Amino acid sequence: MKCGGCANTITKSLNELPGVSNTEVDVETNSVSFEYVNEDQIETVERKLSQLGYPIDTDPNSLLKEAKSYVSCMIGRVSEKVEGAKE
């Protein structure tokens, strides 16, 4: 995770999952906490995080997925600056 935008993306995406709530992201420690109804939601959350580019440490493709997250973050930052320059 690189910034507050990453944290917002994770929080919003996880809170939209059925049975998952109260997601909290700590960018400095690269940690995510959440409440869930049953154990099945843990696997669902892991899959969602991986799809977003924030894999868990034990994911064998974590480096590739982290790169995807970093590129998405940088594209978002460039887009914000371009939009700001137009104003």
pTM: 0.67
The answer to whether residue 17 scores a pLDDT higher than 50 is yes
Q: For the chain, first and last CA: distance in Å?
A: 29
Domains of the chain, residue spans: 4-86
Taking only the tens place, the pLDDT of each residue in 19-30 is: 999 999 998 888
CATH number for domain 4-86, candidates 3.30.70, 2.60.40, 1.20.120, 3.40.50: 3.30.70
Cα gap 34→43, rounded to integer Å: 13
Give kind and range of the element (H or E) at residue 17: none
What pLDDT, on a 0 to 100 scale, did the predictor assign at position 54? Answer: 81
What pLDDT, on a 0 to 100 scale, did the predictor assign at position 34? Answer: 93
Taking only the tens place, the pLDDT of each residue in 30-74 is: 889 999 999 988 999 999 988 887 877 665 555 454 555 555 554
What pLDDT, on a 0 to 100 scale, did the predictor assign at position 76? Answer: 45
